[in-house]
Each structure stands twice: as C-alpha cells, then as structure tokens.
Amino acid sequence: MIALKNVAHSYGHGGGELLTDITLDLAPGSFHFLTGPSGAGKTTLLKLCYGELKPSAGEIQLFGRNVREMTRDDIAGVRRRVGVVHQDCRFLDHLSVAENIALPLDVAERPPAPGDLSELIGWVGLSARARALPPELSGGERQRAALARAVILGPEMVLADEPTGNVDWEMSLKLLRLLVELNRMGTAVLIATHDLNLIRAAKAQVSARVLRIRDRTLRLAGAEL
Amino acid sequence: MTGRLPRRLVDALRPGAEGHADRVVPPSGYTARLTTFTAAAMAFLAVFALALSLAAGRLADRWSGALAQTSTIRISAPADQMETQTRAVLDLLQTTPGVASARLIEEDEQRALLEPWFGPDVPVGELPLPRLIEIVETPDGYDPQGLRMRLSAEAPGAVLDDHTRWRRPLVTAAQRLRALGLLSVGLIGGATAAMITLAAHAALAANAQVIEVLRLVGARDAYIARAFVRRFTRRAALGAMAGTVAGLAGIAALPDTTDAGAFLTQLGFEGLHWLWPLTVPPLAGAVAYGATQAAARRVLRELT
Ligand SMILES: Nc1ncnc2c1ncn2[C@@H]1O[C@H](COP(=O)(O)OP(=O)(O)O)[C@@H](O)[C@H]1O
Ligand SMILES: [Mg+2]
C-alpha cells in the first residue's frame, strides 16, 4: 500500500539529512508503531507516507504510484484512502464537532449516511459533544474527534501521530483500544509515539511491529520493550 | 470554459445545494459587504453607460440618415448662358476631389418634382426654372469653401446648397459618444473583475488555515475553489441586481418629453433596448465567477 525504498529527507537547502536510507512497507491489515525521541523525525516520516512531503532521495510508492509523479489532486485522492490523525489535530473552528467529523465525506462529495455518522461519533464517545465547537473540546476529546474524522471514509490505513500526546493514561488506553479495534476490522494502523508504555500495553492486544528511528534511519526495535 | 460554464454558473448561484460546501469557509461579513457594494455601484454605472451609448447610437443613426451625403448646385442664368454654365459646372465637378458623382436633374424629373405643388396644368417648362445638379460626395467629402470659389469664377450663376453638411460633425460626435459609452461598459467590467480578484485573493489568503485543514482531509483544488467562487459569484450577482434596479429606476424617472432633438430627454432605453441592462447582473456574476476562479487557482498553487 505504502512503500518507501531507500528514502532520504532533508528540510531546506542548508540542513543535512534528517532521515536517510529508510525502507518501509506498510501492508494491508498491518499494525506498526513508530518510535524515537522527540525531534527524531517521526512526524516527518508520516508526512512522507501520506504525500505531504516529497522525499529528497529514494522512492515512495503510494498505492502503486510514485509520489513524485503525483499531482495535488492525486495526493488528495491518497488522503481519502489514508486517514491521518495529526499531532496538532486541527479543525474548522466555526463548524460543529459532528460537521468536522463529516468533513471528509463532504470534501469527497459522498452523501453522508446519518446513521453511520452518529454511530461513529458514539464509537469515539463524543455523542454528547457532537454539537460543540472544536475549541470547546478537551485534549482527549480532540484526539477522538480527529480519529473519527480520520476513519469516516473507511480508509485502508490510519496514520496516527502521537494520538496520546496530551491526554492522561486512561484516555490513552481508550484511544489505543479504538485503534486496535479498527485494525481487527482490517484497517492497517501506524502509530507514531514516544510513549513506550503505550507500546507495551498494545503488545498485549495485537501483534505489532515496532520501528525505531535511530541515527536518522529506521530499525526494528529489539528486546528492550 | 466550454458549454459547461453556464451550468456551473447557475450551480454557483443556487443556494446551499451541496451540503455545507459553502460553510467550510467561515463567513466574513466585511469582504462580503464590500463585494456586494462594488458590484451594485458598478452595475449602476454600467446601466448609465449603456443608456448613453444606446441613445448616442440612435442619434447618430437618425442624423446620418438625414444627411445621406448629397448636396445640390442651383444654376440661375439668362437662357442663352444656361447651357454653357451648366457644362462648366459639370466639368468642374469632375475634377473636384471629394465628389463621387454629379448629375444634371433633367427637365422631366424636375417637372415631376414640382407637379405636386403646381398641379399638372401649369406649364412648368415655360417657367424660368433654375437648373439643378445633384452631387454625391465621397465619404471624406469635398471642401465647400474651395468649391464655392471655383464656382463663382467659372459659373457666376451657380449656387452651392449644402444645408445638411453642418450636421456631419454632430454625427461624428454621436458615433464617438456611442463608442465611448461601450468602452465605459467594458472598463466597468474590467474594474469589477479587478476588484473582485483583490477581494477573493484577500479572502483566500485570510483562510489559509482553513484551506490547509481541507487539504489534509482530501479536498481537491476544485472543491476549495468552489467554496469561494460560489460566494463571490452570488454576492456579485445580487449586488449587481440591486445596482441595475436602481439605475433603471433612475432612468425611468427621467421626465418624458417628446421634443425632437432634446438629447437629454432621450437618454432612456427604447423598446427592446430595455433588455440590455437586464444582462448586467448575469454578466457581473460571470465576471465574479471568472475572477474568483483565477484568483483561487493562483493562491492554491502558491499554498503548497
Ligand atoms: N517544516 C520544517 N522545516 C524545517 N525543519 C523542520 C520542519 N519540520 C520539522 N523540522 C525539524 O525536523 C526535525 C524532526 O521533526 P519531527 O519530524 O517533527 O520529529 P518528531 O515528530 O519525531 O518529534 C526537528 O528537528 C524539526 O525541528
Ligand atoms: Mg512529531
């Protein structure tokens, strides 16, 4: 689905490579963790995976197409097949939570099925907050709204960037459970996190590969977990 | 821009037909009001420019019809000199620049012209009638001053009658006025396009964050552009409608006198010409549609 081969990335001209020689294959139904210290390049790697950034070297295939040859509209098509929960989950602050969650439907010009929407909002536990405006939400509610928005189109893959970044442990587990559930239904999941406890908790529920960014490249994490 | 354009234009004017496609961009009362006001003011001006242009056109047509580019030379001379003077005038006219043709009006023809006035019984042939020569000018015309001087030298009994010539500059002025009116309509359209481009540009730039969120959830450029285009098209069309109505009301309220030649009182629209100002609101909508599309395309290309 998403395949990176010997990919390198550097921001700007002066700076050296932030990531180098990265090879990664995200297959349907897989479950990955991406870890590494803050500033290691986790967010950057995710952006490469959904076409927000283009690699400075190497090759990235998104659904069988070379990302370098894709237009903005092609990338928009990728965004409909890959749900992304951004680190700073941003919303349209003048629309209600429910409207924000339904936004991908509107953007893809697919008719909303009202039952599905309220079911999805119930699934992430936001039924009581559906009419609220995003700025009124707590950190955990924002994360769950972002997750609901990421999955409303029934994506083949969900990329979650620090989904538990600013929520308490209980809420982290709740979000993890949602992502594991999604994976059981067949969606590939990749979670970027620096929280090793979260990874340990997940290992009890699902067989996940844990990747670590170290020395600018990707390694399979070993027994320290 | 094919035949799909009118349909898309109509789509853009249809309120709220596409879910909350309109609402994804937060409302901004300020640019909205400015756009509506600009469109209204421009439509108002366009109606007057159209009225001016059409009225000037009517005037030009009427005056130039009466003008018809002919004049006559009348020769009154003693009977024995009549023939030589007529010959002299005809020869002279052949070498006068600006004269396309000259023709002696025959006695029969002259009699036919006079008969209605005197009746068939009057022996016209025995009256001491002057000879008439009809001149058809080239479009550039001749120099009447020069012709008069040459005539007085060669045929003292000849008089040039060019009573309609004085209207020529008026016709030219009316034609220019019509062209200036049309040019004004064009300039008003251009200025409207420029102002709406600026407003759309500002609106797009102010909503860069919104555009980013829309892109993150998979919005194509066309979708984002449409959200802005629909707004600006609708505002411009509504504003232009108000401006057109106001302009038409102003013109309809002009005093209605039938005094011929009173240019001011004829500034209004006549007959089917009343349909022309009705094209102003849809045209304003089309201008806004095109201007916003272009602005959106440019901004969305830059915002990557
Ligand atoms: N747009 C950008 N331009 C330049 N440098 C950037 C940009 N985004 C991130 N960086 C830098 O790249 C490094 C990795 O950032 P990031 O991918 O966000 O790491 P992580 O998500 O692992 O914390 C950081 O040093 C950050 O400052
Ligand atoms: Mg990050």
Which two three-digit tokens encode residue B127?
Answer: 């009256």
Assess whether the C-beta atom of A16 lies below 6 angstroms from ligand 1. no
pLDDT band of A110, cuts 50, 70, 90: confident
Interchain CB distance below 8 Å, B23 and A79: no
> What residue owns the CA closest to ligand 1's atom 16?
A41
CA of A18 vs chain B CAs: smallest distance (Å): 21
- pTM above 0.80? no
Please give the residue range of the domain that contains residue B281: 2-61+178-302
Number of domains in chain B: 2
Whether B201 and B281 share a structural domain: yes
Chain A residues close to B19, C-beta within 8 Å: 106, 112
- From the CA of A42, give the closest atom in ligand 1: 22
Measured in angstroms, how far is the CA atom of residue A211 from the centroid of ligand 2?
15
| Chain B residue with minimum CA distance to A100 | B24
SS (H, E, C) chain A: CEEEEEEEECCCCCCCCCEEEEEEEECCCCEEEEECCCCCCHHHHHHHHCCCCCCCEEEEEECCEEHHHCCHHHHHHHHHHEEEECCCCCCCCCCCHHHHHHHHHHHCCCCCCHHHHHHHHHHCCCHHHCCCCHHHCCHHHHHHHHHHHHHCCCCCEEEEECCCCCCCHHHHHHHHHHHHHHHHCCCEEEEECCCHHHHHHHHCCCCCEEEEEECCEEEECCCCC
Give the closest of A76, A93, A95 to B219, CB-based: A76
Shared domain check, B212 and B290: yes
Co-location of B41 and B84 in the same domain:
no
- Any domain includes B71: no
Residue bearing the CA closest to ligand 1, atom 8: A44
Range list of β-strands (E), chain B: 70-75, 99-104, 131-137, 158-161
The rounded mean pLDDT for chain A is 91
The yes-or-no verdict on residue B1 having pLDDT over 60 is: no
Query: Is B115 found in the same domain as B53?
Result: no
- Which ligand neighbours the alpha carbon of A18 most closely? 1
Tell which atom from ligand 1 comes closest to the C-alpha of A192.
21
In CATH, the architecture of A27-53+80-220 is 3-Layer(aba) Sandwich (3.40)
* Same domain (yes/no): B207, B255: yes
- The answer to the question of residue B72 being in a domain is no
**Is the C-beta atom of A193 inside 6 A of ligand 1?**
no
Mean pLDDT over each residue of chain B, to the nearest integer? 83
**Distance of residue B36 Cα from the nearest chain A Cα, in angstroms:** 23
Q: Is the same domain home to B190 and B291? A: yes
Same domain for B186 and B268, yes or no, is: yes
Kindly state whether residue B252 falls inside one of the protein's structural domains.
yes
Kindly report the nearest CA distance between residue B302 and chain A, in angstroms. Answer: 12
Enter the ipTM: 0.91
pLDDT number for residue B2: 44
Across the interface, which of B20, B27, B213 has its CB nearest the CB of A91?
B213
For B183-214, write each residue's pLDDT tens digit. 999 999 999 999 999 999 999 999 999 999 99
Give the pLDDT of residue B68: 60
The bridge status of strand B70-75 relative to strand A19-26 is: unpaired
In this predicted structure, the answer to whether residue B149 has a pLDDT above a threshold of 50 is yes
Residue B286 sits in the same domain as residue B188: yes
Ligand nearest to the backbone CA of A41: 1
For residue B166, is it within any domain? no
Residues B249 and B192 reside in one and the same domain: yes
pLDDT tens for A148-168 read 999 999 999 999 999 988 788
Asked if B24 lies within 8 A of A106 by C-beta distance, the reply is yes
B193 is a domain residue: yes
State how far the alpha carbon of B296 is from the alpha carbons of A98, A102, A107, B227, in Å: 28, 24, 17, 10
Cβ-based contacts of B223 with chain A (< 8 Å)? 107, 109
Ligand 1 atom at minimum distance from A87 CA = 21
Residue that terminates a domain, selected from B156, B188, B209: B156
Whether B172 is in a domain gets the answer no
